[in-house]
């Protein structure tokens, strides 16, 4: 029988999936060179090898005697049984034929590198592993930096024994796999020396929303065990597939992780963890060029297998090359693609204003659900018997050994971990609300506390004090009809963009740039500009902390802003995304880091130094140029030409021309590469003098909030006259109709992005009756108003 298969002997057409019914590990660790992908040399055992071991001394019957009748839900019994089975296998001698085959293969592999005993990674892969609907992520063991024949034989046996880890037994039971039908292959790969470089994980989709236009890359310094084990908060990058295929700079997001430690080799070439240096924590562990290479590798692998993939990679410090060390099907979102539930969307939503609640912790959300319950801190699996079903599991990390507890939990919160670690994969499969990387959950949360674990607010997950009511909305896309009037969405938070994009829509009518500046940059743009010129600014030390990972203030501002805009544009691609340039008022800018030196007190900031007036003023013009550079980067370098631009609060046509002139100077020219530049129609002069404004701009988007305020002479922030503020006032409606008519006459775009249509169905009806091109709504109003518009269009 054939007990060994070298990876390079597997032809590209003979490939099976790891976990395919008859696949061996060698059928996944094939030579991917025809795809332009580097993989380490190596070999694997076959199913025949494992079956040979089982047949020796009736090992299979002895295993069955131990595991038969096991109550998997009894954690203590599970631990006792699993240990007994593993010891049974470890105490068995490998069959002579298998030992000989492994020794000869190892000698041959070592000779390839001119070495007597080369260093290898020994990886396990069960034949029930990595099915399209079950990942078995981390259920079996793998071992790094193994050297020498006897050491190799020992670790091959350990891999076989790991088929019966407690977590693997529990996982198989919960998914209906009979352990008697499961086999295991062991892969032996030439070690990739990432201990002095970096390693990580790739998913060929957005792990939160399932959006398949995205590639998610995570990275840490050193060997990859820390990232897959959830021990380190990694760097994270997003690439956009459609523009990656066009050879554009497709990185739409860079997020610096804390990377507190890295796994290296000690003097005896054994693995150990050491703390990273301050410089390492303050910089990215992967260059943009390497991110792009990994993105192309991921595209090639996904296209070859025809499904979303979960991939592990490592960079070798010796030759500088990037290697793919493992690839398997993504199992959470993929199973819904062709299922009967593919057209069903579930949206969890908190039913009250969380700003009035105490937010205890923040971390990375896994999934989009909400869980409530009583806290139970478990510091070690030896305490597993204390955990009760429905409690909120709080731990330092949760590697796959914790799966039996995770599936009983009402929610999970950890100190460490990233979005692509094995525990996060298992949490998504189980469907439990999970937040990782909070850093101090085990210190702040105490046994018996009631908390709400919310993953429904974007990429950031929040733990709130007490129980908060929430609701689950189920949306059946099959029953939805498409209206003729375009229904856009107002989106400010890039972290929620991919989730919001799953709601049926036709684009984004208002993406607020100031939200990105305020929440992701946090420093006054002119403070950053002056720092870039070498000047001292107040708050410099705090700003420099924010800038970690970036070369200078300018690259920090432009990359952060372009990433935020790019995330929104990518999420809704190819639908249009209308980005409004910054519309801070002086009192809002003043509260940003360094802001006091650049903002004067104004009696009424709402009609003061804001919008277009800032852009050509010496007090802000240089910062506006940076805004333009970020927008140009999104459209030209990232290739997201679905981005359209909008200028707020343009008081006169001459102001508009001044702003357009600066934009042209910065390379943003109307008509080039399909660029359109609109103005907010929010001042009565925009309506009265529309004919002249529309000579400057490509259309209007009505801002009903400011238009109502300035038409009725009402300060919308004043409680004394709040009862007068009403977008349904006849004077306001007449101005809206005049604006629509003016744009129709000139053949220009006309939409609305104010609050009124989200609040009042009668305003939506009025807009549709008057032929508006698009209505941009708050996300929670889109589906409700969609039906209103469809019914109205039928009547009309």
The CA distance from 247 to 639, in Å, is 9
Choose, from 421, 681, 743, 753, the residue flagged as catalytic: 753
| CA distances from residue 699 to 311, 548, 633, 693, 727 in whole angstroms, order as listed | 45, 40, 23, 9, 21
Choose, from 155, 333, 422, 524, the residue flagged as catalytic: 422
Structure tokens at 200: 């990580």
Residue 444 CB burial class (10 angstroms; 0-12, 13-18, ≥19): middle
Bridge partners (DSSP) listed for residue 312: 201, 326
- Which element (helix H / strand E) includes 336? helix 334-337
Please check whether residue 775 is in contact with residue 724, taking contact to mean a CB–CB distance below 8 angstroms: no
Structure tokens at 717: 């922030």
At residue 699, φ and ψ (nearest 5 deg) are 160, -175
* Number of residues assigned to the chain: 796
Please check whether residue 415 is in contact with residue 441, taking contact to mean a CB–CB distance below 8 angstroms: yes
The CA distance from 141 to 124, in Å, is 6
For residue 772, count other CB atoms closer than 10 A to its CB.
23
The CA distance from 740 to 627, in Å, is 29
For residue 93, count other CB atoms closer than 10 A to its CB.
12
The CA distance from 157 to 711, in Å, is 80
Structure tokens at 92: 């068995």
304 is catalytic: no
Please check whether residue 354 is in contact with residue 335, taking contact to mean a CB–CB distance below 8 angstroms: no
Those residues whose C-beta lies under 8 Å from the C-beta of residue 724, and which sit 6 or more positions away, are 712, 714
The CA distance from 538 to 316, in Å, is 43
Bridge partners (DSSP) listed for residue 199: 220, 314
333 is catalytic: no
Active site residues: 422, 753
């Amino acid at each position: 029988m054939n007990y060994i298969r070298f990876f390079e002997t597997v032809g590209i057409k003979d490939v099976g999936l790891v976990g395919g019914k008859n696949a061996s590990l060698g059928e996944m660790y094939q030579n991917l060179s025809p795809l332009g992908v580097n993989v380490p040399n190596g070999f694997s055992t076959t199913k025949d090898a494992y079956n040979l071991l089982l047949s020796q001394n009736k090992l299979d019957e002895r295993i069955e005697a131990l595991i038969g009748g096991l109550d998997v839900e009894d954690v203590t019994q599970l631990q006792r049984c699993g240990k007994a089975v593993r010891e049974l296998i470890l105490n068995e001698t490998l069959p002579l034929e298998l030992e000989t085959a492994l020794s000869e293969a190892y000698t041959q592999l070592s000779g390839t590198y001119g070495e007597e005993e080369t260093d290898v990674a020994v990886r396990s892969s069960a034949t029930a592993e990595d099915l399209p609907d079950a990942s078995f992520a981390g259920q079996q063991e793998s071992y790094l930096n193994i050297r020498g024949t006897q050491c190799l034989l020992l670790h091959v046996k350990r891999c076989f024994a790991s088929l019966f880890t407690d977590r693997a037994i529990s996982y198989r039971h919960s998914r209906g796999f009979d352990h008697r039908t499961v086999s295991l292959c062991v892969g032996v790969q030439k070690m990739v020396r990432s201990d002095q470089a970096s390693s990580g994980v790739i998913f060929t989709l957005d792990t939160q929303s399932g959006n398949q236009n995205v590639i998610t890359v995570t990275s840490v310094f050193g060997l990859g065990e820390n990232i897959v084990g959830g021990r380190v908060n990694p760097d994270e990058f997003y690439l956009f597939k459609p523009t990656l295929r066009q050879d554009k700079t497709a990185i739409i997001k860079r997020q610096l992780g804390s990377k507190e430690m890295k796994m290296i080799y000690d003097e005896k070439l054994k693995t150990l963890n050491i703390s990273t240096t301050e410089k390492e924590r303050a910089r990215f562990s992967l260059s943009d060029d390497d991110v792009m290479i990994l993105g192309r590798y991921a595209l090639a692998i996904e296209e070859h297998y025809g499904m979303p993939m979960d991939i592990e990679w490592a960079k070798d410090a010796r030759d500088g090359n990037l290697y793919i060390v493992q690839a398997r099907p993504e199992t959470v979102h993929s199973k819904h693609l062709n299922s009967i539930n593919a057209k069903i969307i579930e949206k969890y939503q908190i039913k009250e204003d969380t700003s009035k609640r105490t937010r205890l912790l923040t971390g990375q959300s896994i999934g989009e659900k909400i869980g409530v319950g009583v806290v139970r801190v478990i510091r070690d699996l030896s305490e597993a018997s204390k955990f009760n079903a429905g409690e909120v599991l709080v731990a330092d990390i949760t590697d796959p050994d914790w799966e039996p507890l995770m599936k009983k939990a009402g929610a999970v919160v950890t100190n460490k971990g990233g979005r692509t670690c094995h525990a996060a994969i298992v949490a998504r499969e189980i469907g439990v609300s999970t937040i990782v990387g909070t850093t101090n959950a085990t210190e702040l949360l105490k046994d018996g506390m009631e908390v709400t674990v919310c993953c429904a607010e974007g990429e950031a997950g929040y733990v709130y004090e007490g129980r908060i009511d929430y609701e689950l909305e189920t949306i059946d896309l099959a029953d939805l009809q498409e209206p003729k009037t375009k229904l856009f969405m107002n989106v400010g938070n890039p972290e929620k963009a991919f989730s919001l994009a799953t709601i049926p829509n036709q684009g984004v009518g208002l993406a607020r740039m100031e939200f990105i500046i305020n929440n992701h940059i946090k420093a006054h743009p002119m403070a950053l500009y002056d720092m870039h010129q070498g000047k001292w600014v107040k708050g410099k030390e705090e700003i420099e902390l924010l800038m970690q990972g970036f070369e200078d203030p300018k690259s920090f501002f432009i990359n952060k802003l372009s990433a935020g805009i790019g995330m929104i544009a990518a999420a809704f691609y190819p639908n249009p995304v209308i980005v409004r340039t910054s519309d801070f008022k002086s009192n809002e800018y003043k509260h940003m880091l360094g802001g006091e030196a650049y903002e004067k007190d104004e009696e009424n900031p709402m009609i003061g130094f804001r919008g277009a007036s800032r852009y050509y003023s010496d007090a802000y013009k240089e910062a506006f140029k940076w805004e333009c550079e970020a927008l140009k980067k999104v459209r030209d370098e990232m290739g997201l030409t679905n981005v359209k631009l909008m200028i707020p609060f343009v008081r006169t046509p001459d102001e508009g021309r001044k702003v357009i002139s600066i934009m042209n100077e910065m390379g943003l020219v109307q008509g080039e590469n399909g660029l359109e530049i609109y103005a907010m129609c929010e001042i009565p002069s925009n309506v009265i003098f529309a004919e002249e404004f529309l000579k400057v701009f490509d259309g209007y988007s009505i801002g009903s909030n400011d238009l109502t305020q300035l038409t009725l002479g009402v300060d919308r922030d004043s409680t004394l006259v709040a009862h007068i503020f009403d977008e349904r006032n006849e004077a306001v409606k007449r101005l809206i109709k005049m604006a629509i008519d003016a744009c129709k006459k000139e053949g220009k775009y006309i939409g609305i992005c104010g609050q009124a249509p989200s609040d009042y169905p009668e305003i939506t009806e009025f807009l549709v009756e008057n032929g508006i091109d698009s209505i941009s709504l708050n996300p929670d109003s889109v589906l409700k108003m969609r039906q209103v518009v469809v019914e109205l269009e039928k009547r009309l």
